[in-house]
């Protein structure tokens, strides 16, 4: 769908969308349209339950003498509540309502609203942002879609006095959607299409945006002692991979102490993002139940977010130095597979007793985190992983679990999540939990007791970050959605791309 911005004008074709505030209060564009329609909009509202509340909508066919095909009135709610997230939700509502109605062109009239916190340009940009997020579809393998189920909407024109400013603001948001779209595509692909080598190939496409991409194969990882990661993938016919992506966007030659991203720990290193990329997880020898195992195609969601984030940062030319590291494996049972009870030596030199081969993501991240810390000396590290089912028991599908050894970093992540609508909830770490992964045969075991499974998994990861400020996001409950939401159609969500892009923009870009 192509999105454009233009000055207000009378629309004489396709569909026109106007906003109505709570209490059936017409916005200026809605009032002008109603006059043009001879009062038809107000009459239609009076004959319906539509009151302008948020999430409400009212559709009416244009009366004779008007060349428009359809009018859609969307409920905006209270003017004071029309912040960025609310406007994004309105954009998503519009896209969902008109995507398959047969219209190829839709126009949306946006004007200043008394009491609203945003000027028209920002309102228009965020409405467009939400529309593009919600218009995502993954239909590439559906060969028998009925014509009426195929999207017809090709262009969305937003009409506003702040068209030039809106266009500039949206240009940045549009690049973020590109990153979200890539992540959604990757997690939606089946495991016969996306396996470690194939996902590494997808990451290589970021080179055209200026991202330096390096792929380490098994021979290189073996020399580096990454036996924790390699052990997970040893039962698969697909070779495990470690992908390193570097975006160098901070201006060069900045004097020390000047022009630095605010709020760091004083380190000059990059910020780093590390992702779990288990392209399919059978559980290995500790095999999962067959029911629902098809969902394990998106057990590489953390890696997908890191790749999508790097695309977003590079696409919008973020003034930051960032590193993305993703460990890519396929966890399969075979005669070569890792066994419960095996002991492996990680790249850090610490030994791990593998009691459950289905607790594999932390083994992948252990070596990826240590490699990232040791090679790049980052100022902070954030890892993302569909790590535990326990986090879904704790938080459902509404929030990601957040763990951190740094309060400032944790607070900033939570604030960024609130700002973009990707919510997190911080859970504790502590010595009592750490004792649960103590092993009698090695330095640690890869599972704790039955309780606090997400916490003991995070405690395991913390052993591989040393003193680096670090946060872990367990995104098992938010990577895939079984229902449509305002800006997220059901399926792969891309959760994390917007959150981390906002974190970078707010705190770590050079000013």
The pLDDT tens digits of the residues spanning 163-208 come to: 999 999 999 999 999 999 999 999 999 999 999 999 999 999 999 9
Q: What average pLDDT does the segment 405-422 reach?
A: 98
Question: Given 362, 379, 445, 498, which residue is catalytic?
Answer: 362
Is residue 254 very low, low, confident or very high in pLDDT (cuts 50, 70, 90)? low
User: What pLDDT is attached to residue 193?
Assistant: 98
Measuring CA to CA, which residue among 61, 129, 66 is closest to residue 92? 129
Provide CATH 3.40.220.10 ranges for the chain.
2-160
User: What pLDDT is attached to residue 261?
Assistant: 40
Of 174-188, 242-256, 380-394, least confident by mean pLDDT is 242-256
Residue 195 or 450, more confident: 195
Mean pLDDT taken over the chain: 95
Cα–Cα distance for residue pair 473/458, rounded to 1 Å: 9
Is residue 346 very low, low, confident or very high in pLDDT (cuts 50, 70, 90)? very high
Cα–Cα distance for residue pair 202/185, rounded to 1 Å: 11
Q: Is pLDDT above 70 for 498?
A: yes
Question: Given 53, 101, 288, 319, which residue is catalytic?
Answer: 288
User: What pLDDT is attached to residue 14?
Assistant: 86
Rg, Å, the chain Cα set: 25
Of 93-102, 254-263, 292-301, 409-418, least confident by mean pLDDT is 254-263
Is residue 256 very low, low, confident or very high in pLDDT (cuts 50, 70, 90)? very low
Instruction: Report CA torsion sign: 253, 254, 255, 256.
Output: negative
Strands (E), 180-270: 212-216, 241-248
Measuring CA to CA, which residue among 455, 233, 465, 496 is closest to residue 369? 465
Q: Give me 70's structure tokens.
A: 């359809």
Question: Most distant CA pair in the chain: distance in Å?
Answer: 84
Pairing assessment for the beta strands 470-474 and 400-404 based on DSSP bridges: antiparallel
Q: Give me 209's structure tokens.
A: 């945006």
Cα–Cα distance for residue pair 389/385, rounded to 1 Å: 11
Q: Is pLDDT above 70 for 445?
A: yes
User: What pLDDT is attached to residue 267?
Assistant: 57
Cβ–Cβ under 8 Å, residues 276 and 383: yes
Q: Which residues pair with 258 in a beta bridge?
A: none
User: What pLDDT is attached to residue 253?
Assistant: 60
Q: Is pLDDT above 70 for 258?
A: no
- The class that CATH gives domain 174-507 is alpha beta
Q: Is pLDDT above 80 for 469?
A: yes
Question: What are the C-alpha distances in Å from 350 to residues 262, 267, 310, 345, 466?
Answer: 34, 26, 30, 6, 12
Q: What average pLDDT does the segment 141-150 reach?
A: 90
Predicted TM-score of the model (pTM): 0.96
Cβ–Cβ under 8 Å, residues 61 and 101: no
Q: What average pLDDT does the segment 15-36 reach?
A: 96
Give the HSE-up count for residue 224: Cα atoms under 13 Å, Cβ half-sphere.
20
Beta carbons within 10 angstroms of residue 257's beta carbon: 7
Note the CATH architecture for domain 2-160.
3-Layer(aba) Sandwich (3.40)
Q: What average pLDDT does the segment 32-41 reach?
A: 94
Query: What does the CA dihedral 81, 85, 87, 92 come to, rounded to 10 degrees?
Result: -140
Cβ–Cβ under 8 Å, residues 232 and 338: yes
Q: What percent of the chain has pLDDT over 70?
A: 97
Q: Give me 376's structure tokens.
A: 């790049």
Cα–Cα distance for residue pair 14/144, rounded to 1 Å: 27
Q: Is pLDDT above 70 for 260?
A: no
Q: Is pLDDT above 80 for 11?
A: yes
Q: What average pLDDT does the segment 116-122 reach?
A: 97
Cα–Cα distance for residue pair 293/190, rounded to 1 Å: 12
Is position 256 annotated as part of the catalytic site? no
Q: What average pLDDT does the segment 56-62 reach?
A: 93
Pairing assessment for the beta strands 25-26 and 15-21 based on DSSP bridges: antiparallel
Cα–Cα distance for residue pair 287/292, rounded to 1 Å: 12
Cα–Cα distance for residue pair 353/366, rounded to 1 Å: 13
Beta-carbon contacts of 448 under 8 Å, excluding residues fewer than 6 positions away, are 433, 436, 437, 456, 459
Is residue 12 very low, low, confident or very high in pLDDT (cuts 50, 70, 90)? confident
Is position 362 annotated as part of the catalytic site? yes
Q: Is pLDDT above 90 for 64?
A: no
Q: Give me 217's structure tokens.
A: 């194969």
Q: Is pLDDT above 70 for 255?
A: no
Q: Which residues pair with 216 in a beta bridge?
A: 242
SS3 label, residue 251: coil
Beta-carbon contacts of 216 under 8 Å, excluding residues fewer than 6 positions away, are 224, 241, 242, 243, 244
Pairing assessment for the beta strands 480-481 and 491-492 based on DSSP bridges: antiparallel
User: What pLDDT is attached to residue 268?
Assistant: 81
Beta carbons within 10 angstroms of residue 115's beta carbon: 10
User: H helices of 320-430, where?
Assistant: 361-376, 390-395, 407-420
Q: Which residues pair with 319 in a beta bridge?
A: none
Q: What percent of the chain has pLDDT over 90?
A: 91
Q: Give me 118's structure tokens.
A: 């945003």
Provide CATH 3.40.630.10 ranges for the chain.
174-507
């Amino acid at each position: 769908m192509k999105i454009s911005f233009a000055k207000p004008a009378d629309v004489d074709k396709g569909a026109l969308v106007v906003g109505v505030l709570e209490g059936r209060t017409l916005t200026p564009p809605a009032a002008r349209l109603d006059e043009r329609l001879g009062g038809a909009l107000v009459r239609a509202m009076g004959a319906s339950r539509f009151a302008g509340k948020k999430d409400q909508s009212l559709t009416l066919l244009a009366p004779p003498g008007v060349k428009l095909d359809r009018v859609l009135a969307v409920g905006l709610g209270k003017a004071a509540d029309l912040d960025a997230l609310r406007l994004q939700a309105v954009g998503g509502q519009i896209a969902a309502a008109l995507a398959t109605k047969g219209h190829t062109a839709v126009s949306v009239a946006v004007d200043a609203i008394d009491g609203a916190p945003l000027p028209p340009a920002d309102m228009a940009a965020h409405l467009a942002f939400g529309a593009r997020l919600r218009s995502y579809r993954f239909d590439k393998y559906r060969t028998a879609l009925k014509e009426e189920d195929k999207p017809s909407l090709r262009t969305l024109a937003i009409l506003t006095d702040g068209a030039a400013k809106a266009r500039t603001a949206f240009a940045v948001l549009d690049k973020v959607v590109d990153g979200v779209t890539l992540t959604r595509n990757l997690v939606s692909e089946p495991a016969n299409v996306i396996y470690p080598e194939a996902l590494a190939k997808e990451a290589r496409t970021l080179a055209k945006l200026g991202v330096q991409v390096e792929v380490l194969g098994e021979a290189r990882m073996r020399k580096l002692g990454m036996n924790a990661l390699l052990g997970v993938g040893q039962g698969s016919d697909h070779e495990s991979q470690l992908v390193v992506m570097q975006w160098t966007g901070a201006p060069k030659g900045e004097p020390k102490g000047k022009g630095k991203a605010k709020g760091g720990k004083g380190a000059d290193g990059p910020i780093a993002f590390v992702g779990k990329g288990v392209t399919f997880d059978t559980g290995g020898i500790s095999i999962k139940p067959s029911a629902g195992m098809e969902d394990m195609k998106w057990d590489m969601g953390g890696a997908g977010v890191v790749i999508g984030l790097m695309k977003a940062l590079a696409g919008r030319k973020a003034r930051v130095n960032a590193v993305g590291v993703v460990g890519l494996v396929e966890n399969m049972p075979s005669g070569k597979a890792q066994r419960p009870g095996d002991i492996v030596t990680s790249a850090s030199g610490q030994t791990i007793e593998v009691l459950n081969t289905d607790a594999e993501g932390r083994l992948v991240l252990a070596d990826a985190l240590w490699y990232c810390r040791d090679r790049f000396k980052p100022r902070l590290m954030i890892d993302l992983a569909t790590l535990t089912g326990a986090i879904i028991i704790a938080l459902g599908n509404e929030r990601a679990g957040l763990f951190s050894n740094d309060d400032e970093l944790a607070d900033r992540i939570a604030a960024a999540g609130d700002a973009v609508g990707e919510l997190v909830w911080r859970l504790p770490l502590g010595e009592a939990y750490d004792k649960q992964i103590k092993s009698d045969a090695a330095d640690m075991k890869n599972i704790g007791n039955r309780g606090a499974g997400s916490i003991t998994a995070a405690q395991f990861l913390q052993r591989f970050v040393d003193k680096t400020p670090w946060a872990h996001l367990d995104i098992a409950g938010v990577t895939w959605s079984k229902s449509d939401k305002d800006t997220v159609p059901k399926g792969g969500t891309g959760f994390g791309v917007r959150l981390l892009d906002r974190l970078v923009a707010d705190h770590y870009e050079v000013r």
